[in-house]
């Protein structure tokens, strides 16, 4: 909530923004979901707020996933098929949401670009640097809009952290630390093989690497990392413990620790943490503990005034239909994917790599 605004004014502002958004959108925005894996709920959550969004087609070769989706009221009217190429050739669409197994994503994004569709892709964009280069070339040549499902950027606490850093309240950023800890749960077969999964660093590390760059405002220059699987032989090549270190462009450092070791008895699926230390203070967010700030001029305090929640897919549609600037540029999609793939490769080779 902005300082100096009453709650009523903020609510009126949100209502006005929603009305403008609805007025600017076409009567129907036809969306296809290509693969029912990952964060496709971002599309459905946006559809609940904007009735113009219609998921009209789904491509999913797994009958169990397709059957589960059919129970969702927002998906019941969608045409379902097993072949995404046949779907793309037969359906009239405005946007394609490319989810599904990681190793298939780059090729499908290129096929969507060839058909001049706006693309919202699950992460990572690709699982190899060669596929990333080919995908970037295709998307740039087609000049189609592209975003990636990195919803943590849009979370109010991280928006507030970014503004605190941008306003200079903690001085120059010198150190960043992030954590991703997840429950393992059941994992599909494609996540248990490196060739189809791509590694835990590109799969979940991408969230925090993107967030550190977005919030901290620093570029990553070099990386070193370790990754392995301890116990749980049934998960195959899926790494369940990772530690990565980065050199920042100003000489500062960043670190990322990740695991799939959160017990099933824990109250939430994930335990996300982000800490940014600067020359004048520290700002930190932890799941369940909120956002805190301490600076050279003021003692520790909890930051309670947070920006209004935003949805990634609505923000993307605003850029398509209202001329607004989307919070994730294609260059950022390519760059964060590149950083993650190179960091994974650094862990494989046990060496420091330039980013």
> Could you report the per-residue pLDDT of 201-250, keeping only the tens digit for each?
999 999 999 999 999 999 999 999 999 999 999 999 999 999 999 999 99
Taking the C-alpha atoms of residue 139 and residue 339, their distance in angstroms, rounded to an integer, is: 19
What pLDDT does residue 8 have? Answer: 35
Determine if residue 255 is left, alpha or beta; phi over 0 gives left, psi from -120 to 50 gives alpha, anything else beta.
beta
Q: Which band of pLDDT confidence, cut at 50, 70 and 90, is reported for residue 259?
A: very high
Enter the tokens of residue 159: 């928006």
Looking at the structure, tell me whether residues 35 and 125 fall in a common domain. Answer: yes
CA of residue 269 relative to chain centroid, distance: 17
- Domain holding 84: CATH number? 3.40.50.720
Nearest residue to 53 via CA among 324, 308, 321, 333? 321
Instruction: Please tell me the total count of domains within the chain.
Output: 2
Looking at the structure, tell me whether residues 112 and 77 fall in a common domain. Answer: yes
DSSP letter at 303 equals -
Looking at the structure, tell me whether residues 123 and 196 fall in a common domain. Answer: no
Looking at the structure, tell me whether residues 155 and 66 fall in a common domain. Answer: no
Looking at the structure, tell me whether residues 176 and 255 fall in a common domain. Answer: yes
Looking at the structure, tell me whether residues 142 and 162 fall in a common domain. Answer: no
Enter the tokens of residue 110: 């290129």
Taking the C-alpha atoms of residue 274 and residue 261, their distance in angstroms, rounded to an integer, is: 19
Q: What angle do CA 304, 305, 310 make, to 5 degrees?
A: 115
What pLDDT does residue 4 have? Answer: 35
pLDDT in tens, 141-197: 999 999 999 999 999 999 999 999 999 999 999 999 999 999 999 999 999 999 999
Q: Does the pLDDT value for residue 13 go beyond 90? A: no
Inside any domain, residue 257: yes
Cβ proximity of 281 and 171 under 8 Å: yes
Looking at the structure, tell me whether residues 41 and 107 fall in a common domain. Answer: yes
What pLDDT does residue 3 have? Answer: 35
What pLDDT does residue 22 have? Answer: 55
pLDDT in tens, 51-95: 999 999 999 999 988 888 888 889 988 999 999 999 999 999 999
Inside any domain, residue 328: no
Q: Range of 84's domain?
A: 7-148
Q: What mean pLDDT is reported for the chain?
A: 92
Inside any domain, residue 340: no
What pLDDT does residue 57 have? Answer: 95
Q: Does the pLDDT value for residue 303 go beyond 70? A: yes
Looking at the structure, tell me whether residues 241 and 101 fall in a common domain. Answer: no
Q: Does the pLDDT value for residue 2 go beyond 70? A: no
Taking the C-alpha atoms of residue 232 and residue 264, their distance in angstroms, rounded to an integer, is: 14
Looking at the structure, tell me whether residues 155 and 304 fall in a common domain. Answer: yes
pLDDT in tens, 270-293: 999 999 999 999 999 998 889 999
Q: Does the pLDDT value for residue 350 go beyond 70? A: yes
What pLDDT does residue 347 have? Answer: 98
Inside any domain, residue 351: no
């Amino acid at each position: 909530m902005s300082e100096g605004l009453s709650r009523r004014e903020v609510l009126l502002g949100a209502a006005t923004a929603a009305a403008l958004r609805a007025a600017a959108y076409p009567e129907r925005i036809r969306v296809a979901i290509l693969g029912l894996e990952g964060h496709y709920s971002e599309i459905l959550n946006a559809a609940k707020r904007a009735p113009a969004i219609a998921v009209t087609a789904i491509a999913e070769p797994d009958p169990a996933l397709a059957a589960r989706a059919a129970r969702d009221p927002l998906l019941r009217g969608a045409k379902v098929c097993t072949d995404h190429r046949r779907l793309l050739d037969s359906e009239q669409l405005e946007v394609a949401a490319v989810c599904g197994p990681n190793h298939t994503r780059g090729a499908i994004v290129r096929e969507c670009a060839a058909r001049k569709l706006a693309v919202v892709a699950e992460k990572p964009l690709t699982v190899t640097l060669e596929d990333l280069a080919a995908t970037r070339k295709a998307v740039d040549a087609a000049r189609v809009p592209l975003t990636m499902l990195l919803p943590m950027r849009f979370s109010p606490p991280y928006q507030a952290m970014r503004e605190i850093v941008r306003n200079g309240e903690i001085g120059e950023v010198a150190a960043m630390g992030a954590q991703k800890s997840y429950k393992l749960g059941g994992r599909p077969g494609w996540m248990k093989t490196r060739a189809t999964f791509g590694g835990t660093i590109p799969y979940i590390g991408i969230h925090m690497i993107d967030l550190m760059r977005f919030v901290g405002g620093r570029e990553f220059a070099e990386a070193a990392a370790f990754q392995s699987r301890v116990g749980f032989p049934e998960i195959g090549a899926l790494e369940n413990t990772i530690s990565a270190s980065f050199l920042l462009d100003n000489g500062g450092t960043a670190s990322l620790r990740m695991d799939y070791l959160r017990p099933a008895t824990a109250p939430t699926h994930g335990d996300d943490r982000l800490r940014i230390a600067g020359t004048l203070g520290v700002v930190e967010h932890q799941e369940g503990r909120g956002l805190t700030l301490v600076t050279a001029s003021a003692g520790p305090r909890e930051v309670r005034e947070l920006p209004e929640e935003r949805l990634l897919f609505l923000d993307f549609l605003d850029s398509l239909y209202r001329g607004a600037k989307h919070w994730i540029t294609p260059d950022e999609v390519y760059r964060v994917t590149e950083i993650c793939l190179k960091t994974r490769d650094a862990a494989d080779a046990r060496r420091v790599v330039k980013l």
